[in-house]
Amino acid sequence: MEVKKVNIFFPCLLFLYLALDIGYVVLKKAGVINPPAFFNMIFSELLVLLIVIIYLLIVRVNPFKEFRIKVVKPLDCILCIISGYLLIPIMMIINVISSLFTPNYAQTTLSETLSFPFWAQVVMIAVIPAMVEEFTFRGLFYGSYRRNAGFAAIALSGLLFGCFHLNFNQCLYATVLGMFFAVISEACGSIVGSMLAHFAINTYSIGLYEIMKLAGVDIDAMLTAASSDSTAVSSVSSVSLISLAISLIFYLAIAAATTALAILIIRFVAKRNNNLDHLKEIIRPKSTVRVISDDNQAGKKEKLFTIPIIASIIACVAYMIFMDFMYHY
C-alpha cells in the first residue's frame, strides 16, 4: 500500500462520506426513503466501510494480508480489553476540558442510542464502530504509514482518526486514543487487539447508563440536566471554576495512574508476542523505522505529509470551526 495513494484517498473518503451522508438525510427528510431506526444509527459506519472496500478493490489490496488481521491469543484479548478500559479516564478528562469550549455532539448521539435495547446499543456503539474504524484507520491508514516511519506514522494515523470525527470535542480525544490503538496493534501484532480496546472504550458509557437504569435512575432527566449544564459554562462563577479546577486536577491524577497502568499492560502484551523491542523503537518521537513489504522491498521511505493530506486536515479544521460557529450563533 503506497502512502501517496492512501493520502489521496483520505480526502476522497471525506468528500464521499459527507456527500452521501447528507444525501441520505435529505432523502429521509423528503420521505423518499424510510429506513429502520437501527439502520439509521449504523448507516455512517457502513458507508465508511463501503467506500473503503471499493477503494481496496480498485487498488487490488488484500486486507487480510496487508492489514495485520490475525488471531490474538485469549489472554492478550483480555489484556487489550482491560487496557481499553484503563484509557477511559484520559478520554474523559480530555472530553470534559474540550466541552468547556466546544459542543459535545456525542452526547446527542448517545441520547438517541439509549432508546434501543442494550444488545442493540452494544452493536451500534461498540461492535460496528470498533471494527469499521480500526479496519480503516489502523488497517488501511496506519498499515500504510507504518512501513515508512515509526512515531510519525502513529501520530498521523491518530490525527486523521480524530479529524474524521469532524468536531473538536471528539477530535481531541480520538486523536490521543487513535495513537494508543496503533501502539496496541503493534504490541499484539494485529488490529484485532486495537478493535478490542476500541470496543471496551465504546461500551463504557452505554454500560454505565444500563447499570444506572437497572438501579432506577432516570437517565433521560440526567442527560437533559447534563446538556443544560454544558451550555452554561459562560455563566459559571469564580467559585465554581475553582471547584471545577480542583476536580479536574483530581481526575487528571486518576487518568495519569490508569494510563500508566494501561501502558504497562500494553508493554506486557508486546513482550508476550516478542514485539517489545520493535515497539520501543517505533514509539520514539524521532523514530524512522521502515518495514519491508511486498510493495516496498527495499524499505524505501515515502513522504507522509503530502499536499492532499495537509489540505484534508486544514479542511477538517475549517469545517469544525464552521460547525462550532453555527452552533453558537
Name the residue among 161, 91, 197 with its Cα closest to residue 313: 161
Least confident of 9-23, 230-244, 302-316: 230-244
| Average pLDDT for 75-89 | 97
Q: How many CA atoms lie within 13 A of 213 on its CB side?
A: 14
| Average pLDDT for 138-150 | 88
SS3 of 321, please? helix
Q: Do the Cβ atoms of 112 and 37 come closer than 8 Å?
A: no
Residue appearing with cell numbers 444500563: 210
User: 147-201: per-residue pLDDT in tens?
Assistant: 876 899 999 999 999 999 999 989 999 999 999 999 999 999 999 999 999 999 9
Q: How far apart are CA 29 and CA 119, in angstroms?
A: 28
Task: Give the per-residue pLDDT at 102.
Answer: 84
Task: Give the per-residue pLDDT at 271.
Answer: 96
Cα dihedral value 42, 44, 49, 52, nearest 10 = 180
Name the residue among 144, 186, 132 with its Cα closest to residue 303: 144
Q: How confident is the model at residue 292 (pLDDT cuts 50, 70, 90)?
A: very low
User: 278-290: per-residue pLDDT in tens?
Assistant: 898 888 766 555 5
Q: How confident is the model at residue 297 (pLDDT cuts 50, 70, 90)?
A: very low
Q: Do the Cβ atoms of 107 and 187 come closer than 8 Å?
A: no
Q: How far apart are CA 329 and CA 324, in angstroms?
A: 9
Q: Do the Cβ atoms of 128 and 152 come closer than 8 Å?
A: no
Across the chain, mean pLDDT equals: 87
Phi, psi of 116 (to 5 degrees): -90, 160
Residue type, 321: I
Look at residue 82 and tell me whether its pLDDT is greater than 60.
yes
Q: How far apart are CA 132 and CA 254, in angstroms?
A: 30
Look at residue 119 and tell me whether its pLDDT is greater than 80.
yes
For the question of whether the overall pTM of this predicted structure is more than 0.85, the answer is yes
| Average pLDDT for 124-128 | 94
CA distances from 49 to 13, 56, 154 (A): 10, 10, 21
